[in-house]
Structure 1
Amino acid sequence: MSSSVAPPGWPVEVRPPDAPGWVGSATAWLLDQCPPEYRGHRAVRDQPVVLARFTVHHVEASRDAVHRALSEARADLPKVVDASAVEGAVQTWLHEEARLQGLRRAVGLVEEALRGRRFAARL
Structure 2
Amino acid sequence: MSNGPPGWPERVPPAGVPGWEEAAVSWLLDHCPADYRGYAAWRRHPAALAWVSTRHLEAQLDAMRGAWRDVRPELGPLLPPGTIAEVLDSLAREGLRLRAAHRGATLLLEALRLRAPMR
Asked if TM exceeds 0.5, the reply is yes
What's the RMSD between the two structures over aligned residues? 1.5
- Pairs within 5 Å for 1:97-112: 97-112=95-110
**Does the CA contact (< 8 Å) of 1:38 and 1:45 recur in 2?**
no
- Fraction of identical pairs, as percent: 38
What does residue 52 of structure 1 align with? 50
Structure 1 portions without partners, runs of 5+ = 118-123
Instruction: State the Cα distance separating 1:45 from its structure 2 match.
Output: 2.2
What does residue 85 of structure 1 align with? 83
Instruction: State the Cα distance separating 1:77 from its structure 2 match.
Output: 1.6
Instruction: State the Cα distance separating 1:59 from its structure 2 match.
Output: 0.6
Structure 1 stretches of 4+ with a deviation exceeding 6 A read none
What does residue 121 of structure 1 align with? none
Among 40, 43, 53, the alignment partner of 2:41 is 43
Instruction: State the Cα distance separating 1:83 from its structure 2 match.
Output: 3.3
Q: Which has the higher contact order (CA 8 A, sep 6+)?
A: 1
Q: Structure 2 CA distance, aligned partners of 1:86 and 1:34?
A: 28
CA deviations 1:90-117 (Å, max 9, x no partner) are 1100111111111111110011001117
What does residue 4 of structure 2 align with? 6
**Is 1:68 equivalent to 2:56 in the alignment?**
no
Give the TM-score of the pair, scaled to structure 2.
0.89
Q: Structure 2 CA distance, aligned partners of 1:15 and 1:67?
A: 31
Q: Structure 2 CA distance, aligned partners of 1:37 and 1:31?
A: 9
**Could you tell me which amino acid in structure 1 is paired with residue 113 of structure 2?**
R
Q: How many residue pairs get matched? A: 114
